[in-house]
Structures are given as structure tokens and as C-alpha cells.
Amino acid sequence: MEWENRKELSFDMATESTGITRDWAFDGRIVIYELTAATVATITEWSELAVNTLRDWPKDRPYLALHDISHPGVGLLYMIAAQDSVLNIGVSPGAEKLIQEITNANPDWKLALALVVSNSLSGSVAKLKMFQKISPEDRVQSKIFFSRSSALGWLKDCYGS
């Protein structure tokens, strides 16, 4: 699939009422999800969107995702909903099996996730690993940031994109 047609993947979330938006950066090479309301319905919707996007992504290109939970009042609620598994590329704990099936079917596929949190979450984030994580179990290279621009820069540099 052509990068210019990336916005046609799955379904687009451009409405603010759902609490989740999906956007693209660097000519569709990076998918950006921004959470503005952390409800069970929103987390479920986001998870479904993330899994569908991952499933439709060209497997010859690295999957580069930015999850922005820096909006006031959503970070801690998301951490609770995610059961402290905020570096989950599929968003919700229930999506882990689907993500594992997709990644197992594509063993050489590179994946990276940048999580953007607000500075007010610094106490909670300190409990998380604040350094680059590469795990052979989940195969997703991930890192936590306090700014979107830093996260985008890191993702852009991942895997020579």
C-alpha cells in the first residue's frame, strides 16, 4: 500500500467526541493516536483501531506509533485501564493475544512505540522504565517522552525511516 494512501487504513477517527484521534506524520510513516478522554469505551475503541491499523500496515515497513496520553486528566486513568501496561502497542491488555498473533506471523517485522505523557505524571512514570526498552518477548522497541516533538524525532530515527 502506498504511504500517501495511509489515511485509508481501517477507519479514521477524526471526531473529538470519541476521545481518541488518529493522525499521521512523515508522509504516513508514523501513526499518531491522541487520547483526550479515558473511558472504557474510548480505550476499547482505541485498541480496536490500533490492532486494525497494525494488521493493515505494510509488513515491509517498520510500524512506528506514537501514543499521546498527555492530555490533562487522562494519563492516570489510562494507566489504570491498561493495568500499568502502557507500553502495549495494542493499547488494552485484551489486545495482547491479537498483537502476538500478528507479530508471530511476521517475525522479522520491526515495531516501535513512543508514549507521550504529561509532566504531571512524572511520579507515576518514574515507576515505569524511563529508558529505551527492547524486549524479546514483545518485539516492540519503546520509549517514554514528555514532548511529542521528541517522540516523533525518536520514531523518525528508528530503523532508518
pLDDT tens string 61-91? 999 999 999 888 888 778 777 776 778 888 8
Q: Which of 3, 18, 14, 90 has its CA nearest to residue 54?
A: 90
Q: What is the CB neighbour count within 10 angstroms for residue 72?
A: 8
Phi-psi category of 24—alpha, beta or left, where left has phi over 0 and alpha has psi -120 to 50? beta
Per-residue pLDDT of the chain (161 residues; tens, 9 = 90+): 344 444 444 444 443 448 999 999 999 999 999 999 888 888 889 999 999 999 999 999 999 999 999 888 888 778 777 776 778 888 888 888 899 899 999 999 999 999 998 887 654 554 454 444 455 456 789 888 889 999 999 999 987 65
The cell for 71 is 492530555
Express each pLDDT in 44-56 by its tens digit. Answer: 899 999 999 999 9
Exposure on the CB side of residue 97, measured as CA atoms within 13 A: 1
The full set of domains in the chain, from first to last, is 3-160 (3.30.750.24)
Where are any strands of DSSP class E within 15-119?
20-25, 30-35, 63-68, 111-116
pTM for the predicted model, two decimal places = 0.82
